[in-house]
Structure 1
Amino acid sequence: MKVSLISIPVRDQEKAAKFYTEKLGFVINKDTPLGGGNRWLTLVSPEWQDGPEVLLEPAPNHFEPSKVYQDALFEAGIPYTQFDVDSVDAEFDRLSKLGVEFSVKPTVMDTVKFAIFNDTCGNHIQIVEDL
Structure 2
Amino acid sequence: MKSLKRIYVVIPAVVEVTDKQMVTQPVGRQIAQACHVVTKLRHKTLRSEKDFIPVTTIILHARDQNEMFHVSQLLQKRKMSPIFFSDENAAVYGAVRPITAMAVYASKKQVEDILGYLPLWEA
Task: Give the TM-score taking structure 2 as reference length.
Answer: 0.30
Higher share in helix: 2
TM-score, normalised by the number of residues in structure 1: 0.29
Structure number with higher strand proportion: 1
